[in-house]
Structure 1
Amino acid sequence: MIYKVFYQETKERNPRRETTHALYLDIDAKNELEGRIEARRIVEENTSYNIEFITLLSDQHLEYEKESGAFEITEF
């Protein structure tokens, strides 16, 4: 399952939409909740990012992300 993680690069400032970034993780999980928990764990262990939101991408959303040109799976 592919998850999109929205984050701020630092926890020092209040989140602003203009500075929100996203990364994509391929998580092998039994269900969506376990995948979100695992995605949060991975990002928190490997970065100092302020995680705003984690969402599971549907097939249609994944295709859109691939076509937009910004799609790249992040590996830690």
Structure 2
Amino acid sequence: MAIFKVFYQHNRDEVIVRENTQSTYVEAQTEEQVRRFLKERNYNIEFITKLEGAHLEYEQQSEHFNVERAE
């Protein structure tokens, strides 16, 4: 399993505005599994990145680091 950081907008029908970008963390096997897990939400996904090494350690220090698990 890996942890992915997902950057998204809350409404898939709106134009992406950087200032409105939100993020969440998902534990999954692949990026495709992350997309399937979030499909039912009305998110406009901008970017998904796999977190590893120092980048993961840095993100884990954030008070907003709350990982959802894709089933």
TM superposition score category, shorter chain reference: 0.7 to 0.9
Match of 1:68 in 2: 62
Q: Distance in 2 between matches of 1:53 and 1:11?
A: 13
Partner residue, 1:58 = 52
Counterpart of 1:25 in 2: which secondary structure? strand
1:49 and 1:56 mapped to 2: Cα distance? Answer: 18
- Give unmatched runs, 5+ long, in structure 1: 30-34
Gaps of 5+ in 2: none
Q: What residue number does 1:40 align with? A: 35
Kindly indicate which of the two structures has a greater share of residues assigned to helix: 1
- Look up the equivalent residue of 1:23 and give its one-letter code: T
Larger strand percent: 2
Aligned residues: 69
Q: Distance in 1 between matches of 2:45 and 2:13?
A: 12
TM-score, normalization: structure 1?
Answer: 0.81
Please state whether the residue corresponding to 1:68 is helix, strand or coil.
Answer: coil
Q: Which residue of 2 aligns with 1:32?
A: none
Q: Point out 4+ residue stretches in structure 1 off by more than 2 angstroms.
A: none
Q: What do residues 3-50 of structure 1 show as CA deviations (whole Å, max 9, x unaligned)?
A: 0111000022210110000110111x2xxxxx01110111013x1111
Instruction: Give the percent of matched residue pairs that are identical in Structure 1 and Structure 2.
Output: 41
